[in-house]
Structure 1
C-alpha cells in the first residue's frame, strides 16, 4: 500500500511488487514487477530540458560571503556549462584524459563536472581527505598516475597547495582554480564567466556523439587495501538509475525536490543519487557546508530552517545529531517533519535513532514521517534496492528497483547477493584484471554482501542487509558472528557514549568491541572539563560503568555468544582515512580497522583489567 505525503495529496510510492524465481541450482532471482521506464541518452539531456522548461528555477545554490544564497538557475547553468565545455575542448580533455576535481562541493565544481560530461569527458572527484588530511598523499598520487588528467580543478589553491605540490611532477594538466591564490605563488588558471567562449558547433557535435556507454564519472572506491579503484560510471548507469528511482518514488516528477545536502561528490550517494535526483526531476540543490559533526551540524540546521527542503538525505551519524537537535528545537521540528520523506543510506540507522525520529514526528505532526533506506554501491550507480513502502524495521533495504535483477546464492547460513542491470558498472578504469574478477559467469556483479528476506513467505515485504560476506567471522566454538547486525546492536546499546563500534573476535572464545567515543557525551558522563585529557575522561569510573551497563543490556537481549560482546576498549586515535579506516561518509571499514589496530586488539583480549571494560563490571555491586 502506498504511503501518502503529509504535504501533498498524492501517494509517495508505487506499490511494492516483486517477481521471485528459484533456479535449479538453488539460487533465487528477484526483480521488480514495475517496468523500467525509458531513460535519457545522457546526463546533459536533463539540463537541456529544464533550461527550456523551467529556465528561471533555481538549480544550484550556495552561501555567499555575506551569508546569503548565491543562486544559479537552469538557464544560467546551461549557458555556463556550454562555455566551460567549449573551453575543455580547447585543452587535452578527452575520454583518455579526464577532469580531476580536488574540491569540496561548490557551484563551480558542479558546473565543471556537468561541462565535462556534456562533451563526453569523464570527471573524477577525489575525496578531500586524500588532499587535506593525508600526510603522504600516496593514494592521491596513485590516482593521478592512473587517470593522467587533462585538467585539475581546485576550489582553493591555497588550501590544496600541499596536495598540488605532492602531485606536481606526475601530470601536465592545467590547474583550474575556483579563486585566485592569496598565499601561494602557484600558477593557476581562472575562468570568469566573461572569459568563457560562446556555445560552439564543436560542443554541439561532442554532445550529440555521446552514447549510453560513454563514461560520465570515475568514482574511486575507499581503497582500504592498496590503491583505490576507479569505478566506471556510464551515462546509461546514471540515467537508468534515476528512471528507476522515479518509477518507485512516484511523487518526484510531479513535485520537483528541494534538497539541502552536504554529501560529498566524491562518493556515489552524493555525486550520483542526491545530485541526479535533483537534476533529473528539475529540482533545486542547496549546497550545505555543514557536516554530521558537533560544531558543523549547526550549519545544516540553519540551512534546513532557511530553505525548508522536501526530502532529507543523510547518513546515520547525521540523523543521530539531527535527532538530538530536534528534541529542543520546535522550529526545526516543523521544518523537518513536514518534508515528504527521510532517506538513510551508506550504513544501517541505529534503532534508537529511528525510534527517536518516529516519536518526535508523532508528537509534531500526529503521524510518522516515512523513513526509508536503500542499498547499492559505487558499482551500481548506486541504486540496486529501494524502499518504496513504509518499513516496519529500519534494517529493511527494500526491493530491487525496476531493471535490476538480484541473484541470491546460498552461502553457509546466508544468502549472498549479486546484481545485474543497466545501472551496473562495466568495470574498473584501466584495470581489466579487476574487472574480470568482479563478475560471475552469468554477468552478475559480485558485490560481496548478504541479505535475508524480511518475510520468507512474502518477498514483497523487502530484504534486510545481512552483512558483508568477508566481514563475518567464526568464534573458536565455530559459531558465526554477523558483524553488520551486531555492530548496529552494539551502537544502540552504547549510545550516547559511542559513535561507532568495531566488532572483533575472529577465532577467539568471545567477542570484543573497539569503541569510537562520542567525546562530548563521554565528558558529560565523566563530569570533567572540556580541556581534560581524553584518556582521563574515558578511564573514569562513570564512563566505564556506563559502557559495562550497555554491554550487560546487550547480553540480556539473548541469542547466544554471537549476539553480544563480553568486553570493550575505547580507541584514543580516531579512524585514519590515510590508512583506509574510514570513508568520506564517516563509515568505518571493519576489516581495515582490525588489521591496523593490532595492539588495541591484543589489549582488548588481554588479561590486564585496566585495558578493557568487562561486562561483568555491571554485575558487581558498587563498593
Structure 2
C-alpha cells in the first residue's frame, strides 16, 4: 500500500451475547487541550500562512494565522467586557464568514459556548420560530448577525430583548460591532487559563430529521481528540498544510467542527465558498474553484455530480482541480458509482494516479468522525473502520445487519437540559445508541471496513409484516430517477404497498403540461420515464414502488418538514400532509400515479 495512506488495523471481538466489538490498534499523537492552542501554535510557527479567506471583489479577503490570532484575542477581550464567558452562550444566526470564524475563536478563548444556527432560519421569515425554539433552549447571553441591517428584524425578536446584539456591520443603535469590541483591549489571561478540555466550546443542534432538534454540548476535548484521530487516519495532513474551498455550513458538525478544525489543527487554509450544490448557486462554487483549488475536496454527492459535469467541460479547471489533490471526500450519502468512476478517470488523466476517494461516518454527538475509510477502496458507500480510542459495538440481526453503538473520548456525555433523552441515548455499558445500521464489506475480514446501511428509525413495516428499509431504498430510487426529481419520501407504514411522495425537479415543475391537482402534480411529458424506472426497482413487496404523487408545495423549513441541514423530517412531513397521504392510496385520485410492475 502507498505509504501516504494508513492501513486499517482493527481488532474484532465476538462476544457471548452476540454483539461484536471493533477497536483500532492505532495510537494517537499528543492531543491539544484547547482549540485555541492550535491557533497559538500556528501563529508562532507560520504567522504569514493563510488561515481563513472569503470572497472580496474579484479576489479573496485573506487572514493569516498571525492576523487571526491577534484579532480573535482582541475580540475576546471585548466579549469578556460584556460579561460573556462560561454559561453565557452566543447564538450565531449568520452563515459562514471570516467574522463568524473570528467570533467563534474569540469565544473559545474565554470559554463562552457558541451556538451556530443555519442562516436559513434568519433569512426566511416563516422559519424564525426555529430561532425562538433554540433560544428558549440555550438561553443565550448574546446573539450575532454579520449583517445587522439585513437581519434587524431577527435581532429585535422578543427572545433577544435582554441579550447583547453583536454584528459585523450595520444594525443601528444598541448593537456592538465586532470592530468596536476588538478595540476595548480587555485582558483575557485569567479567563483563558480557566478554559480546559472539559469546557464547552459549542452547542450544536441535531438535525431534527426524526424528532425535534436537541442541543449537543461539544467540549474542547471532544474536538481536539477528534482531530488527533483524523490525523492518524490521514497522515498526509502532517506532510503539507491542507487547503480547502468549502461551502459546508458551520452550523453542521461536519463543516464547523470537522473541516474548520482540520485547517486550524494542521496549519491549513479554509477558503469559504459562497456557493452550494443547487442550480442557482453552483455557479459560485465553480467561479471560486477557478480562482482557488485545494489539496482536499469535500462535498455531498449531488455537489460532486455538479462539479463532475463542469470538470468534463473545462480542461483547465479539470487540471487545476486534480493536480494537487490529496483526497476527495463525499458525505451525506453514497456517491453514485458513475460519478465516482468519472472523477477517477479524470484524476488519472491529469496526474497519472488517483487521490484517496473516501468517506467516513459520524454524528453531531461524536464530534463527528468515528469511522474512516483511510485506505484506498474501489467502491462507493464504504465508511471504514474505527479511529483510535473509539470503541464500536455492533448488534447484529439475523441477516448480520448491525445496529451501531459507540463509546470514546470524542463522544458527548448528554443532551442539553434533556435528562430523559440522555438516559435513553446510552445503553447499560455506556455506549451511545446511534440508531444507524452497518454491514461488513466482508464478514471474514473486518479490516475491509463497514458500509452504511441506513437509519433504523426510518424503517417501517407493511401491513403484511414485511420490513421496508426506507433509507437504502430511497438511495436506490434517487439513483434510478436521476435529474427527474429532487428527492423522494417513502410511504407505506401499515399499508399494503409502498408509495412515494416525489419532490419534482425544476424541469418537471416548469413543464408546459404540468397540472396541479390540489397539491399533487401530473406531468405527462415526464411521467412515462419515471414510471418505467420505478417499475424496474425491486422484485418483492419490500422494494416495489406501487404508487406515487408529485408534490406541488415545496417542503417547509418553518413547519419543520425540512431541517436547517437540508434533511427531511419524514415524520413531520407525513403528519402535515396526511390528507395527501390518503389520496396517494386512492387509485381514483387524479394526482395519484399508479405504477405497474415490470413483468418478470
TM-score normalised by length of structure 1: 0.90
1:399 maps to 2:379: no
Report the CA distance shift for 1:230/1:347 in structure 2 as closer, same or farther (over 3 A). same
Deviation at 1:45, TM superposition (A): 0.3
2:37 maps to: 45
Matching of residue 102 in structure 1 with residue 89 in structure 2: no
1:327-384 Cα shifts (integer Å, max 9, x gaps): 3222222233332121111233334433443344445545444321111110000111
Kept in 2, the 8 Å contact 1:513–1:565? The answer is yes
Out of 10, 16, 21, the residue aligned to residue 8 of structure 2 is: 16
Match of 1:574 in 2: 554
Secondary structure in 1 aligned to 2:297? Answer: strand
| Inter-partner Cα distance in structure 2 for 1:454 and 1:547 | 32
Aligned to 1:545: 528
SS at match of 1:470: helix
SS of aligned partner of 1:26: coil
Report the 3-state secondary structure (helix = DSSP H, G, I; strand = E; otherwise coil) of the residue aligned with 2:245.
Answer: strand
Partner of 2:111, secondary structure, is coil
CA displacement at 1:541 relative to structure 2: 2.1
Using a 3 Å threshold, how does the CA distance of structure 1 residues 480 and 96 change in structure 2: closer, same or farther?
same
Aligned: 1:496 with 2:483: yes
The gaps in structure 2 that reach 5 residues or longer are none
Instruction: Please state if 1:588 is matched with 2:568.
Output: yes
Deviation at 1:165, TM superposition (A): 2.8
User: 8 Å contact 2:520–2:550 — kept in the other structure?
Assistant: no
User: Offset at 1:162?
Assistant: 2.8
**Change over 3 Å in CA distance of 1:160–1:195 after alignment to 2:** same
What does residue 374 of structure 1 align with? 360
1:100–1:153 CA contact under 8 A, matched in 2: yes
* Greater shift in the superposed pair: 297-306 or 585-594: 585-594
- Deviation per CA, 1:191-246, whole angstroms, max 9, x where unpaired? 3279523462xx12222222211101100112357652110100110000000000
Match among 195, 212, 222 for residue 210 of structure 1:
195
Deviation, 1:169, is 4.8
Contact 2:114 2:202 in 1 (8 A): yes
- Count residues with an aligned counterpart: 596
- Given the superposition, is the C-alpha separation of residues 225 and 580 from structure 1 closer, same or farther in structure 2, using an over 3 Å criterion? farther
User: Which segments of 5 or more consecutive residues in structure 1 lack a partner in the other structure?
Assistant: 3-10
Shift of 1:590: 3.2
The residue correspondences of 1:118-133 to structure 2 (distance < 5 A) are: 118-133=109-124
Residues 129 and 584 in structure 1, CA contact (< 8 A), matched pair in contact too: yes
Distance 1:18 1:117 in 2: 35
Alignment of 1:169-568 (within 5 A): 169-181=159-171, 185=172, 187-192=174-179, 195-198=182-185, 200=187, 203-224=188-209, 227-338=212-323, 339-411=325-397, 413=399, 414-520=401-507, 528=512, 539-555=522-538, 558=539, 560-568=540-548
How far 1:33 moved relative to its partner? 1.6
Q: Which residue of 2 aligns with 1:57?
A: 49
Deviations, residues 412-454 of structure 1 (Å, cap 9, x unaligned): 6431111101110121222233222211111111111111111
Rounded to whole Å, the distance in 2 between the matches of 1:365 and 1:547 is: 39
- In the alignment, what sits opposite 1:30? 22
Q: CA distance change for structure 1 residues 590 and 320 in 2, over 3 Å: closer, same or farther?
A: farther
- Does the C-alpha gap of structure 1 residues 587 and 554 become closer, same or farther in structure 2, counting only changes over 3 Å? same
Contact kept in structure 1, 2:246 and 2:298, CA below 8 Å:
yes
Shift of 1:324: 2.5
The 1:67/1:521 distance shift into structure 2, 3 A limit, reads farther
Task: Mark the CA change 1:501 to 1:612 in structure 2 (over 3 Å): closer, same or farther.
Answer: same
Provide TM-score, normalisation by structure 2. Answer: 0.94
Give distance in 1, aligned partners of 2:86 and 2:23: 33
Q: Of residues 136, 147, 157 in structure 2, which corresponds to 1:145?
A: 136
Q: Deviations over 1:579-606 (max 9, x none)?
A: 3332334232333333333233222222
Q: 1:544 to 1:325 in 2, by over 3 A?
A: same
Alignment-derived partner of residue 165 in structure 1: 156
> Helix, strand or coil for the counterpart of 1:70?
strand
2:522–2:550 Cα contact (<8 Å) kept: no
* Root-mean-square deviation over aligned CA pairs: 2.4
Cα distance change, pair 613–465 in 1 and its aligned pair in 2 (3 A):
same
Task: Report the alpha carbon displacement of residue 552 of structure 1 after superposing the two structures with TM.
Answer: 2.6
Q: Does 1:597 align with 2:584?
A: no
- When residues 581 and 326 of structure 1 are mapped into structure 2, their CA distance, relative to the original with a 3 A threshold, is farther
